[in-house]
Amino acid sequence: MHVLITGSTRGIGRAIAEGVARRLSDGGMLFLGCRELTAGEALAEELRPMSRARMVPLRLDVTCASTLAAAVAFVERTSGRLDALINNAGILLERRGCRLADIVEPTLLVNFDGLVDITRAFLRIMGGPDSQIINLSSGAGLRAARALSAIDRAALDGASDVASLRSTLAKLCVRAAAHPHGAGETPIYALSKAGVNSYTRLLARRVRVRVNACSPGFCRTEIAGTAADYSTREPKTPALGATVAVRLLFGEIGGGAATGAFFKESSKPGTPVAEAQSSVEPWED
C-alpha cells in the first residue's frame, strides 16, 4: 500500500504516521507530507526502525500550488500510484481575544481549500474502488452543522459543486464571526470542519474512490496553542485519537467498503491504544 499523510510531523498527523508505519508491509510506501522537509526527514529516520515499508519525506504546503504540483509529480515518479490519501493538515486559529473576522479566510484556506486542492491533485494517480481518501474532521463540525437553520443546513449539504459549497461556507463563517454568541469557543474552525464533512459526502457521490471523514476526538496536541485550557475536560493522547484513521485505512472499521461516512474515536481518555474503540457517527441527529 502506498499512503500519503498531510501534516505528518506534528500532533495527530504524526501519531497517524507512527500507527501506519508499524502496519505497512514490505513494498509499502509512506509519504510524509510536511511543510519543512527537514522535519519530514527527521520523522522518517524515527519511523524506519519500526516499519518494513519505505518512509519518504515529501515537501507539501497545502496552500502552495507549486509544492503541490511538485509533490504529485514526485509521488507518481517514485511509486507510480497512490492508494490512500489521509488529509490531516489543518489549523485552529481561535485564541483568546482574537478577532474572528480576521481568521475566517486563513482558516478556510488551509482547512477547506487546501484539502480540496490536494484531493483534486492526487485523485489523478489514485486507482479504483480499493483506493481511499480519509479526511480528518471533528465532532465540532457535526455540531456546527446541526446547529444551523434548516435553510442553511440544506444549502451546505445540498451544494451541487465545490464552488457553491465554498461560497455557502464562507457566508456562514462571516455571519458566525459577526455574531459569535452561542457559537462555541471555536466557531470558525467548527464551520470549516462542517465544510470538510459536506465535501466528503459530495465527493463520495462522484468518485469511485472511497471517501470518508473521521474525528480523533479531543486530544492534547499543538493545534490549540500553548495557552490551551485542559482543566475542564480531559484530553486523549494523540496516539489514541489517531487509531480511528489507522483502523479506517486498514479496513477494520467501515467494513473496508464504507464511503461518505463519518467515524469517530469513541474511547475514554486513558484507554490503552490496543483497546481503542471507533464508531460510526450519523450526519444528523
Interatomic CA distance for residues 111 and 105, integer angstroms: 10
User: Which CATH number covers residue 172?
Assistant: 3.40.50.720
Q: How many domains does the chain have?
A: 1
Interatomic CA distance for residues 218 and 221, integer angstroms: 9
Examine residue 151 and state whether it is found in any structural domain, yes or no: yes
Q: Which of 270, 278, 218, 271 is nearest to 250 (CA)?
A: 278
pLDDT of residue 237: 93
DSSP state of 283: S
Interatomic CA distance for residues 41 and 29, integer angstroms: 14
> Confidence band (pLDDT; 50, 70, 90) for 98?
confident
Examine residue 79 and state whether it is found in any structural domain, yes or no: yes
pLDDT of residue 95: 85
Q: Of 142-146, 226-230, 263-267, 268-272, which range is least confident?
A: 226-230
Examine residue 140 and state whether it is found in any structural domain, yes or no: yes
Examine residue 285 and state whether it is found in any structural domain, yes or no: no
Is the pLDDT score of 154 beyond 80?
Answer: yes
84-87 β-sheet, strand order: 54-59, 29-34, 2-5, 84-87, 132-136, 210-215, 262-265, 278-280
What are the residues whose beta carbons fall under 8 Å from the beta carbon of 46, sequence distance 6 or more? none
**Residue showing cell 518512509:** 55
pLDDT, tens digit (0-9, with 9 covering 90-100), for 27-39: 899 999 999 999 9
Examine residue 104 and state whether it is found in any structural domain, yes or no: yes
Rounded to the nearest integer, the mean pLDDT of the chain is: 91
Of residues 135 and 256, which shows the higher confidence score?
135
Interatomic CA distance for residues 106 and 182, integer angstroms: 22
Q: Which of 111, 76, 101, 239 is nearest to 173 (CA)?
A: 101
What is the residue range of 247's domain? 2-280
Interatomic CA distance for residues 220 and 162, integer angstroms: 32
pLDDT of residue 284: 78
Examine residue 57 and state whether it is found in any structural domain, yes or no: yes
Query: How are beta strands 262-265 and 278-280 bridged, if at all?
Result: antiparallel
Q: Is the pTM here over 0.85, yes or no?
A: yes
**Residue 265 backbone dihedrals phi, psi, to 5 degrees:** -80, 115
Handedness of CA 49, 52, 58, 62 (dihedral sign): negative
